[in-house]
Amino acid sequence: MIRLNQLVKRYGRFTAVDGIDLAVPSGELFGFLGPNGAGKTTTFRMIAGILRPTSGTIEIGGIDINRRPLEAKARLGFIPDRPFVYDKLTGAEFLRFAAALYGQQGPLVERRIDELLELFELTRWKNELTESYSHGMRQKLIISGALVHRPEVIVVDEPMIGLDPRSARLLKDLFRQFVDRGGTVLMSTHTLEVAETMCDRIAIVNGGKIVASGTMSEIQEQTSSEHLGLEDLFLKLTGGMRDHQLDAILGA
Ligand SMILES: Nc1ncnc2c1ncn2[C@@H]1O[C@H](COP(=O)(O)OP(=O)(O)OP(=O)(O)O)[C@@H](O)[C@H]1O
Ligand SMILES: [Mg+2]
């Protein structure tokens, strides 16, 4: 459902994404892990069509986003890491706007909007301006906006940040059911517990490259680290800890 072929993004001489190959089939929840600056958000923004790749190709459901961008984007719901909503729109107006971007409007859309607001416990704030929403409420509105046109693929950058435990659980259940019904989710997260409990497969990215991918046990095998948990595996694959520097800063 999502296929990346030798995807590269350069900013001047700096290579942020350095030849990423990835295939996520439908029915799978895939986790994209990596340290700050590894290239996760850059990769996701290219998939969402916000950034143009330097080279390489991206397919959503077999459709090349460069050749048929509208068709590819219609299948995709993108949830960015920094929730942006228009302050002077109400929750309902924002969702109507999001649906209209995909050419959808009318009674079916209105019903869908009501269902999404209900699911995320925003019904009471349906007609309030989003400037009065809390951070988590905005995040939930953005998530609703990415679902309103019934995408087949969800690409989501750090979804759990700022969500209360109840909403985080709701999102976990939502993504699981979404993939169980044939959807595809590509998700970045720094919360290794989230990755371990939610994801069918993961990739660990470092310096713009995938350094390991597969199921947890496949990665353990690939790296001859059968005894390591995800945290230690992550640290091993992305440069380890720097105890001597801590010593230098905190020591007498
Ligand atoms: N517009 C830009 N111009 C120049 N460099 C950029 C730009 N956007 C991102 N970068 C660089 O690309 C690299 C990858 O950034 P990216 O945001 O993709 O990382 P990330 O994996 O999402 O990190 P984080 O976990 O902190 O969100 C970083 O070194 C960053 O400085
Ligand atoms: Mg990021």
> Which tokens is 19 given?
């030849």
Continuous H helices in the chain:
40-47, 69-74, 91-100, 107-119, 135-147, 165-180, 192-198, 216-222, 230-237, 243-250
pLDDT along the chain (252 residues), means of 10: 98 97 98 97 96 97 95 95 89 96 93 96 97 94 95 94 90 95 96 92 97 93 88 89 82 76
Pocket test for ligand 1, best of 32, 41, 46, 210 (most atoms within 8 A of CB): 41
Together in a domain, 140 and 209: no
Write a three-state SS string for 115-153: HHHHHCCCHHHCCCEHHHCCHHHHHHHHHHHHHCCCCCE
**With 0-12 CB in 10 A as exposed, 13-18 as middle and 19+ as buried, what is 107?**
exposed
Report pLDDT digits (tens) over 56-71.
999 999 999 999 999 9
> Which tokens is 86 given?
């228009």
Q: Flag whether 251 is in a domain.
A: no
6 Cα: distance to centroid of ligand 2 (angstroms): 20
The residue whose CA is least distant from atom 24 of ligand 1 is 36
171: CB partners within 8 A, 6+ apart: 143, 159, 160, 163
Q: Flag whether 231 is in a domain.
A: no
Which residues form the domain of 205?
Answer: 1-75+152-216
Regarding beta strands 63-64 and 55-60, do their DSSP bridges make them parallel or antiparallel, or are they unpaired?
antiparallel
Together in a domain, 89 and 125: yes
Together in a domain, 159 and 207: yes
Together in a domain, 57 and 165: yes
Q: Flag whether 226 is in a domain.
A: no
d(C-alpha 203, C-alpha 18), whole Å: 14
Number of domains the chain contains: 2
How many residues in total does the chain contain? 252
Q: Of ligand 1's atoms, which has the minimum distance to the CA of residue 43? A: 18
Pocket test for ligand 1, best of 4, 7, 11, 82 (most atoms within 8 A of CB): 11
Q: Of ligand 1's atoms, which has the minimum distance to the CA of residue 35? A: 25
Together in a domain, 4 and 71: yes
Give the end-to-end CA distance of the chain in Å, rounded to a whole number: 55
How many other CB atoms are found less than 10 A from the CB of residue 83?
20
d(C-alpha 65, C-alpha 44), whole Å: 13
Regarding beta strands 201-206 and 209-214, do their DSSP bridges make them parallel or antiparallel, or are they unpaired?
antiparallel
Q: Which long-range contacts (CB under 8 A, 24 or more apart) does 193-200 make?
A: 194/31, 194/160, 195/31, 195/33, 195/230, 196/230, 197/172, 198/29, 198/31, 198/172, 199/29, 199/30, 199/31, 200/28, 200/29, 200/30
Give strand pairing partners of 32: 188, 203
CATH number at residue 61: 3.40.50.300
Q: Where does ligand 1 bind, in terms of residues with CB under 6 Å?
A: 11, 14, 16, 34, 36-42
Pocket test for ligand 1, best of 40, 157, 211 (most atoms within 8 A of CB): 40
Q: Flag whether 241 is in a domain.
A: no
Together in a domain, 173 and 117: no
Together in a domain, 65 and 184: yes
Together in a domain, 166 and 68: yes
Yes or no: say if 196 and 216 are a contact pair by the CB < 8 Å rule. yes
pLDDT at 120: 95
Together in a domain, 35 and 65: yes
Together in a domain, 23 and 133: no
The residue whose CA is least distant from atom 6 of ligand 1 is 11
